[in-house]
Amino acid sequence: MATDHPDIRPEIRKGQCLGLTTALLLAFSIVSPAAAIAEDDPVFTITFNDGEVSPLRLEVPAETRFEIRLINHGQTPAEFESIPLSKEKVIGPGVSTFIVIKYLDPGEYSFFDDFHPDAAPAILVAVPPKG
């Protein structure tokens, strides 16, 4: 008999909505990509510009978590792809994004722009820590 108690249903809905909103906010804060990056993680940048990748050789720390910021200055899409790293990410024109590398053994890891097959291949060099 919901018509006898019109105030009950709105209160339940408000409570359910508040609970759902809180749950969604909590879930977003846990899985947010921004939350996946620690403030002290080193950050490196790779730029794409209609088939040009820069730098072609990028030294990064081995055995360390780091972020690679990917920026597409071009008018066409680009794709960071690395078979040895098992990573790929499409970057629209004028878009900036990132990937996080959690750990690399010392060595060389090739990458390329899969949307521009004629572009020069590039390499990530994981340098072991000194000491």
Task: Tell which residue, 4, 6, 130, 124, has the closest CA to residue 60.
Answer: 124
The three-class DSSP label of residue 11 is helix
pLDDT surpassing 80 at residue 28: no
Outline where DSSP puts E strands in 26-93: 43-49, 52-54, 57-61, 66-72, 78-82, 87-91
Taking only the tens place, the pLDDT of each residue in 7-16 is: 544 444 444 4
- The pTM of this model reads 0.70
Q: Are 76 and 50 in contact (CB under 8 A)?
A: yes
State the residue for tokens 């990530």. 124
Q: Average pLDDT in the 17-39 region?
A: 46
Q: Average pLDDT in the 64-87 region?
A: 96
Higher pLDDT, 60 or 31: 60
Taking only the tens place, the pLDDT of each residue in 88-129 is: 999 999 999 999 999 999 999 999 999 999 999 899 999 998
